[in-house]
Amino acid sequence: MARKKRGDPVHGWVNLDKPIELGSTEAVSRIRRLFNAQKAGHAGTLDPLASGVLPIALGEATKTVPFLMDAEKVYRFTIRWGVSTASVDREGAVTARSDVRPSVEAVKAALPAFSGEIQQVPPIFSAIRVYGQRAYDLAREGVEVELKARPVTIHEIAVSDAPDADHVEITARTGKGVYVRSLARDLAVMLGAEGHVSALRRERVGPFAAENAVTLEMLEDLAYRGAALEGLLPVATALDDIPDLAVTGSDAFSLRQGRPIVLLPRQVETLKDRLKSGSRTVSAFEDGTLVALCQMRAGRLEPDRVFNLS
Distance CA 210, CA 15 (A): 8
Distance CA 296, CA 170 (A): 41
Distance CA 309, CA 289 (A): 7
Closest CA to 278 of 295, 262, 291, 293: 295
167: region left, alpha or beta (phi > 0 left; psi from -120 to 50 alpha) = beta
The answer to whether the beta carbons of residues 75 and 180 sit under 8 Å apart is: yes
Q: What is the largest CA-CA distance in the chain?
A: 71
Distance CA 106, CA 97 (A): 19
CA angle, residues 74, 76, 80, in degrees to nearest 5 = 150
Is 47 part of the annotated catalytic residue set?
yes
Active-site residue, from 47, 89, 186, 251: 47
Closest CA to 235 of 279, 292, 296, 166: 292
Which residues, in sequence order, are bridge partners of residue 164?
167
Distance CA 136, CA 128 (A): 8
Q: Which residues contact 161 (CB under 8 A, 6 or more apart)?
A: 168, 169
- CA pseudo-torsion sign 144, 148, 149, 151: negative
Distance CA 166, CA 197 (A): 12
Q: Which residues contact 215 (CB under 8 A, 6 or more apart)?
A: 16, 17, 19
The answer to whether the beta carbons of residues 216 and 30 sit under 8 Å apart is: yes
Report, as residue numbers or ranges, the catalytic residues.
47
